[in-house]
Structure 1
Amino acid sequence: MNKSYTNSPSRHWLFKQLLVLIILSTPSIYAQAADRLVATQAEYKKALEQVKPGDKIILKNGIWNNFEIVFVANGTADAPIELTAETKGKVILSGQSNLQLAGEYLQVSGLVFKNGYTPTNEVIVFKKGQKQLANHSRVTEVVIDNFSNPDRQEADNWVGLYGQNNRLDHNHFIGKRNAGVTVAVRLEGKKSQQNHHQIDHNYFGPRPILGSNGGETIRIGTSKYSLTDSFTVIENNYFDRCDGEVEIISVKSGKNRIQNNVFYESRGTLTLRHGNGNLIDSNVFLGNGVEHTGGIRVINRDQTITNNYLEGLTGSRFGSGFTIMNGVPNSAINRYHQVVNANIKHNSFINLAHIELAAGSDQERTAVPLDSHLSQNLFIGSTPPFTLYDDVSGLSFTDNLSNFTTELNPELKKGINAKHITLTRAANGLLYPSDVTLAKYGANSMLSPTLKQDTGVAWYPKSEPTVAFQSGSTINVGATDDELANAVEQAKSGDTILLSDGKYNVTHILNINKTLTFKAVNPHKAIIRFERPTLFEIQNDGNLQLDGLVINGSNSPDAAGNSVVRTRKWGMLTNYRFDMTNSIVEQLNVNQAFNFFDSGDRAFADAITVSHSQFRHITGALFPLDKETDDIGIYNAEYLILNHNQFIDIEGVIATVYRGGTDESTFGPHVSVNNNQFTRVSLGKNNLTGGVFKLHGVQVSTIEHNQFNQSAPIIVEHTVGEPQTRIANNLLNNTAQPVVTELVAVGKQTAIINNNKVQSL
């Protein structure tokens, strides 16, 4: 009977018809998804109109110029809608391009943004307009490479996360040079709060020093929404020399989790700026002794900092290896809320220059930390790194371990046990006590630091952001017409132009838009004169090194505004470096205002370094780095370094360095002047500063072991940020003593001025 039923033709036909009906009534997710390859913007728009859940829009390989992509669609959890490249890395969005995505279950991958900048507020934004948000959507394996507005103070964000349950992963972000956050999590509106975004496995490549506020790499929220919870997770990312400003990650919301990230040689800190109840867990901070590298800064309530590893961090004050802040009583939402109930345990603090407690204590920030606990942390260093700025009785130290041989502050001693500790570097690259009985102190041995190669994309290089001087080929030139200018045109970045003995008369401005070195075969035997208002103009991507040259201004035009070196007049996007050694600059005196170096507005030097050189008979200034006078914390150079030089008969100021305003988000400027000789310097009638140096708002100044003969005084004006000034061991012959003025701090000036010898000839 069973056999007859199975083989019956009518029964078989009925079964087939039933199967057809089931297939026809099956939901659309079983239908074959469509791959739509598009080659033009018009084709993309048409494909978007036709797209269905499970479909994929594929951009054809090539350069898509001025393409503002609007990707608005609705997929499903099982059938997301994708926008991708024909070949990952081969679709380049250039010019005025960006991406808006809005809807549900969208995915974007494989695109590269370079050679342009966004015409709007973001390069990639998870919304369209104010009401259409993206949810349950993902951006993965996308590259944004130096896609920066040419006006460095025109702010935009590279990624703006809105909506809820979105993921940003395995992306490559490098070289943001203008103001604005690299990745901003936005909490405007309830539909973007409690968002549960995930930011993971991204490579945040080198971000140059911005020289002002607005250079964070990640920001979660803003002051306005800081009492709102975000529930954002930031994990398994690699922060490689992210130097934009003092805050690398700025947390301005609550209930976020930041875990298992690596911060490599990054200047600044992970800052819990606003918001409560955040978890900072299993992160690794490696400073390698680089200046201003920092760790974690704690503000607000209910923060948990556990199982983090911090080593070789040099930062101080708000950028120190570890900082617990003072707050403002009854603080406004945008100021400093009191630290209450912080739980800090099982962290390794190894060779940190500074750990600062009750930091920022002043007449406003008087609310000391309360009800907070530090337990089973490991403190390793040659001396205790702690600085206490106020009452720290609200910080309970219990069962912590150190190797300090010098006495601790009594308020810390009872909670930090000292003993001899030998460290061993484990397979994960981190240091742990060799004695296994001490394993409960510090970070766990199972901590697995995120590797650089496991972040970003595999198909785009993590190349070095700067080209070293003298790292390329050598181009030999002689003192014949146009040979020097031709060499500049032909040279590649990193090349050295080697000047043979002779007299060079340069009739064109030499535009420096690559990394170049001009070096004499025999020091001081290559003599350069120039007929234009400037000899060298540093432009975007330009870095200039001079070695062994003689530069003479006698052939220059008799016109105001001459200079030997200048930056582009109308501002620069890229930071530059200028280095000069063993050279002579003379006879810049064909008019009354012949400067050596001129910085334009919105130009920024990573470093200006001059050593073992001589300047003589100059009517103008040498380094007027004072063009940013809008008093919003912007300045022209991070480092000015003058070592072992001679300055003779200079009528103008040697250097004016200006940083105005009240912002405290930067580490610079820095000025270092050591072992120089100044003779009859800065006494000209056109030197309106009245000083040999005029330093306003400089954060770190060191002027030591110099000889000043018949010269104007050093003038320093301290502003915000606890500036550090040291003027010591100088010889002042017929030169007035330094003048230091406190423009913000109340009371006695804070500069260290000692061991200067004053003589009258």
Structure 2
Amino acid sequence: MKPFNNKTPFSCKLLTQWLVLLMFASFSVQVNAQEHLVASQAQYEQALKHLQPGDKIILKNGIWQDFEIDFIAKGNAEAPIELTAQTKGKVILSGQSNLTLAGEYLTVSGLVFKHGFTPSKEVISFKKTDTQVANHSRVTEMVIDNYNNPDRQVPDNWIGLYGQHNRLDHNHFTAKRNAGVTLAVRLEGEHNQQNQHRIDHNYFGPRPILGSNGGETIRIGTSHHSLSDSLTVVENNFFDRCDGEVEIISVKSGKNRIQNNLFYQSRGTLTLRHGNGNIIDSNVFLGNGIDHTGGIRIINRDQIVTNNYLEGLTGTRFGSGLTIMNGVPNSPLNRYHQVVNANINHNSFINLEHIELAAGSDSERSAPPQDSTLTQNLFINSTAPFSVHDDINGLTFTDNLSNISLNKINPIIAKGLNSQQVPLARAANGLLYPSDTALTHYGATPKLTPTLKQHTGVSWYPKSELSVAFQSGNIITVSSEEGELGTAVQSAQPGDILLLKDGHYNVSNILAITKPLTFKALNKHQAIISFKRPSLFEIQNNGNLQLDGLRITGINSPNASGNSVVRTSSTGMLTNYRFEMFNSIVEQLKTHHQFHFFDSGNRAFADEINISHNLFSHISGDLFRLDKETDDKGIYNAEYLTLSHNQFEHIQGSVASVYRGGKDESTFGPHVSIKHNQFHDVAMGKQNSPAALLKLHGVQVSQIDHNSFSDSAAIVVEHTVGEPKTNITNNKLINSALPQVSELVTTGQHTANINNNKVQTR
């Protein structure tokens, strides 16, 4: 038989016949495709048995409780098999529900997971078993909202991407609160590698601070498979305040492309943690001055970082605007491989507080960056942001533009900076560029198109805030009549203000705080509250508490062990909380046992505790007990503790005990700020052992300044991992013990800054 070619007789006729056959075959599939509207799990299982390419299963609108969906079928490129909602957003999967895809050419859309948590390791999984995975499949226009295990330290992943050639797009993921990655790309086995997944146009909504490791938003691979290539593309997504931990995106594999995403006020960095040959291109990082907002952290070989725009980032150390790490010689897979052949070009670094070079240098991480270049970048800052931690001869700075004075800058950096005045103007895309068009080839291109929030996720589900602000609701006036305060708490709405008239309030039951509420005195200190139970307030899930102008006394409280004015739920809390108190008096917390003011339970986490302009007097216990996470896994009870302009007198216990144990470095806190307070006769009680006015273990940032201490015990600080910053300055110590600082991990003298304190003895 002669080979087929354009000169073969009847070739056009044969081709036409084939095209007709293909057209009829495609038409036949469309004609035979069936839609199955199902109203129960049993009906779904029956429909699943008979699916053919082009078929569609439609879940009837409503709440589907405890539905573990196995969507296992085989479509084809011309006729995928679809699972969808009768109306997008009107099918709610709640309780213990999840979704598993396995097969070929599957599409799932329109479903919402909320009011529950997955009974397995993942909410949506692109595999049934290790060998049954999904390929060429798509999950689009789905919502996972606050679908979390009630124990914040029990981990699960919301999405597990397995197989090859899958797409995850236009989805809405928000309020991941428990441990575990929001989205994990898994590379176990060759059938999951070189996968060419596409992750695009998703809305990654706010992820609260986890207070431990395990809070990444995206992880691509693991250290075990980090020398394998994933070829995953992450593009056109919006990361909205993704604050889980220090790594927002953790790349742990090779040859991925992260491009044209927008990171908005997100604490942490896009981290090239493991794997080689990744491309970071055309992303926008907007910090707006928010604490710990970061940019890009570079580790490993052959990384390309180009055309990115970073502005207003405050992060430092491993979370800085740009971090180039030191590596470990002959590093094992799970540590730090040396940076080699990094190409960092045409990026705009504008108003970054820190750029860290050879970061993490220590006796283990002793291999500085090599053979790497930084070219035609734009560095705009009021002061030089560069911190150099080791030899940077392996970094070549060439033809970069900056407004920074070259005085006192490392010569290797200065050699490659063209320093001059660089006026900036905002372009139509909202980003800053040199006003002189002759300079626009420096930094990110003016053609950069930031990904906007409204262009991601779904159109039919709101992008709501996770919490309600204090004093944003109605004012409810309350009198001291018996039971009225408790009734008002139950009927109040989030954000309401309970305005307490003058009088004596003797509260009979613990007030459960399950929403943001403010208790405010009509006249300062004239609303006097006592309580008959071991606690006055218990902060529970979704609760935030603000007190203003109250007078709280323990004179009617039981003579029992473990009393406290405020406590968190004894069963732990999934949601983070806030506690604030201003202009109030707390007094006479005295029993034969220790009577505390604020006692955090295990597995409870405060975003912020802010205490200002208050008087604490005659208290037999501790004031702030934030020391319950003693399993030494890097977990802690509060991100920020701020005490300012308060007066503390005759306190037998400690003012604050804050504990963060373990060796993990994936978090930023705790932070403790103690400023402009007066302490007299504090922490000298016999039951306060060891005697310490403040007990700070593993706190990352401590600012203790402009306070007055008289007749009081010592400040005790124990440094552990990371690079803790402790400043004890400008204080008065009158007949009080000197601060005690110790290093529990590193050797040598402590690193605390203890200066300009005035010490007096009587």
- What's the TM-score bracket when you normalise by the shorter of the two chains? over 0.9
User: Aligned-pair distance for 1:31?
Assistant: 2.6
Instruction: Determine if the alignment matches structure 1 residue 509 to structure 2 residue 521.
Output: no
2:577 partner letter = Y
1:358-409 C-alpha deviation (Å, 9 max, x unpaired) = 0000000011100001100000001110010000000011101100125121
5 Å-filtered alignment, 1:30-69, equals: 30-69=30-69
Instruction: Determine if the alignment matches structure 1 residue 733 to structure 2 residue 734.
Output: yes
Distance verdict in 2 for CA 1:26–1:226, change over 3 Å: closer
Aligned to 1:176: 176
Distance 1:545 1:418 in 2: 49
2:184 partner letter = A
Instruction: Determine if the alignment matches structure 1 residue 605 to structure 2 residue 624.
Output: no
Distance 2:470 2:25 in 1: 70
Aligned to 2:17: none
Aligned to 2:394: 394
Aligned to 1:468: 469
- Report if the CA contact (8 A) 1:208-1:242 is conserved: yes
Distance 1:59 1:694 in 2: 56
Distance 2:698 2:338 in 1: 28
User: Aligned-pair distance for 1:25?
Assistant: 7.5
Distance 2:400 2:584 in 1: 55
Distance verdict in 2 for CA 1:45–1:716, change over 3 Å: same
Distance 1:117 1:55 in 2: 29
Distance 2:30 2:719 in 1: 71
Instruction: Determine if the alignment matches structure 1 residue 72 to structure 2 residue 79.
Output: no
Instruction: Determine if the alignment matches structure 1 residue 754 to structure 2 residue 755.
Output: yes
Distance 2:360 2:680 in 1: 42
Distance 1:694 1:24 in 2: 78
Aligned to 1:137: 137
Q: Which segment is superposed worse, 728-737 or 23-32? A: 23-32
1:751 partner letter = A
How many residue pairs get matched? 742
User: Aligned-pair distance for 1:590?
Assistant: 2.1
Distance 1:611 1:21 in 2: 80
Aligned to 2:420: 419
Distance 2:532 2:668 in 1: 39
Local SS of the residue matching 1:132? coil
Distance 2:256 2:168 in 1: 15
Distance 1:198 1:160 in 2: 13
- Report if the CA contact (8 A) 1:702-1:727 is conserved: yes
- Report if the CA contact (8 A) 2:279-2:305 is conserved: yes
1:343 partner letter = N
Distance verdict in 2 for CA 1:21–1:454, change over 3 Å: closer
User: Aligned-pair distance for 1:570?
Assistant: 1.4
- Report if the CA contact (8 A) 1:350-1:381 is conserved: yes
User: Aligned-pair distance for 1:27?
Assistant: 7.6
Instruction: Determine if the alignment matches structure 1 residue 338 to structure 2 residue 335.
Output: no
Aligned to 1:15: none
- Report if the CA contact (8 A) 2:377-2:442 is conserved: yes
Aligned to 2:543: 542
1:401 partner letter = L
Q: Under a length normalisation based on structure 2, what TM-score does the superposition of the two structures give?
A: 0.96
Distance 1:206 1:263 in 2: 11
1:661 partner letter = G
Instruction: Determine if the alignment matches structure 1 residue 115 to structure 2 residue 115.
Output: yes
5 Å-filtered alignment, 1:39-438, equals: 39-407=39-407, 408-438=409-439
Distance 1:729 1:298 in 2: 38
- Report if the CA contact (8 A) 1:170-1:456 is conserved: yes
1:284 partner letter = V
2:720 partner letter = T
- Report if the CA contact (8 A) 1:155-1:180 is conserved: yes
Instruction: Determine if the alignment matches structure 1 residue 672 to structure 2 residue 673.
Output: yes
Distance verdict in 2 for CA 1:24–1:225, change over 3 Å: closer
Aligned to 2:443: 442
- Report if the CA contact (8 A) 2:26-2:78 is conserved: no
2:595 partner letter = F
Local SS of the residue matching 2:79? coil
Distance 2:445 2:412 in 1: 27
- Report if the CA contact (8 A) 1:697-1:717 is conserved: yes
Distance 2:692 2:558 in 1: 28
Distance 1:24 1:754 in 2: 86
Distance 1:190 1:177 in 2: 32
- Report if the CA contact (8 A) 1:383-1:406 is conserved: no
Local SS of the residue matching 2:44? helix
Aligned to 2:655: 654
2:246 partner letter = V
Local SS of the residue matching 1:412? helix
- Report if the CA contact (8 A) 1:653-1:689 is conserved: no
1:218-251 C-alpha deviation (Å, 9 max, x unpaired) = 0000000000000000000000000000000000
Instruction: Determine if the alignment matches structure 1 residue 710 to structure 2 residue 683.
Output: no
Distance verdict in 2 for CA 1:258–1:21, change over 3 Å: closer
1:314-361 C-alpha deviation (Å, 9 max, x unpaired) = 000000000000000000010000000000000000000000000000
Which blocks of at least 5 consecutive residues in structure 2 are unaligned?
A: 1-19
5 Å-filtered alignment, 1:550-629, equals: 550-629=551-630
- Report if the CA contact (8 A) 1:101-1:127 is conserved: yes
Distance 2:417 2:629 in 1: 47
Aligned to 2:11: none
Distance 1:690 1:444 in 2: 59
Distance verdict in 2 for CA 1:21–1:533, change over 3 Å: closer
1:121 partner letter = K
User: Aligned-pair distance for 1:591?
Assistant: 2.7
Q: Under a length normalisation based on structure 1, what TM-score does the superposition of the two structures give?
A: 0.97
User: Aligned-pair distance for 1:22?
Assistant: 11
- Report if the CA contact (8 A) 2:562-2:593 is conserved: no
- Report if the CA contact (8 A) 2:396-2:412 is conserved: no
Local SS of the residue matching 2:413? helix
Distance verdict in 2 for CA 1:500–1:350, change over 3 Å: same
Local SS of the residue matching 1:362? coil
Distance 1:524 1:82 in 2: 64
Distance 1:135 1:224 in 2: 23
Distance verdict in 2 for CA 1:544–1:688, change over 3 Å: same
Aligned to 1:7: none
User: Aligned-pair distance for 1:592?
Assistant: 2.3
Local SS of the residue matching 1:255? coil
- Report if the CA contact (8 A) 2:326-2:366 is conserved: yes
Aligned to 1:4: none
1:247 partner letter = E
1:567 partner letter = T
- Report if the CA contact (8 A) 1:596-1:622 is conserved: yes
Local SS of the residue matching 2:49? helix
Distance 2:575 2:379 in 1: 39
Aligned to 1:484: 485
User: Aligned-pair distance for 1:21?
Assistant: 11
Aligned to 1:17: none
Aligned to 1:451: 452
- Report if the CA contact (8 A) 1:646-1:676 is conserved: yes
Distance verdict in 2 for CA 1:24–1:251, change over 3 Å: closer
Stretches of 4+ aligned residues off by more than 3 angstroms: 20-28
Instruction: Determine if the alignment matches structure 1 residue 698 to structure 2 residue 696.
Output: no
User: Aligned-pair distance for 1:35?
Assistant: 1.2
User: Aligned-pair distance for 1:51?
Assistant: 1.3
Distance 1:683 1:341 in 2: 59
- Report if the CA contact (8 A) 2:144-2:173 is conserved: yes
1:621 partner letter = D
Distance 2:126 2:117 in 1: 18
> RMSD value over aligned CA atoms?
1.2
- Report if the CA contact (8 A) 2:406-2:414 is conserved: no
Q: Which segment is superposed worse, 428-437 or 745-754? A: 745-754
- Report if the CA contact (8 A) 2:513-2:538 is conserved: yes
2:352 partner letter = L
Local SS of the residue matching 1:489? helix
User: Aligned-pair distance for 1:32?
Assistant: 3.3
Which blocks of at least 5 consecutive residues in structure 1 are unaligned?
A: 1-19
- Report if the CA contact (8 A) 1:54-1:80 is conserved: yes
User: Aligned-pair distance for 1:269?
Assistant: 0.1
- Report if the CA contact (8 A) 2:231-2:257 is conserved: yes
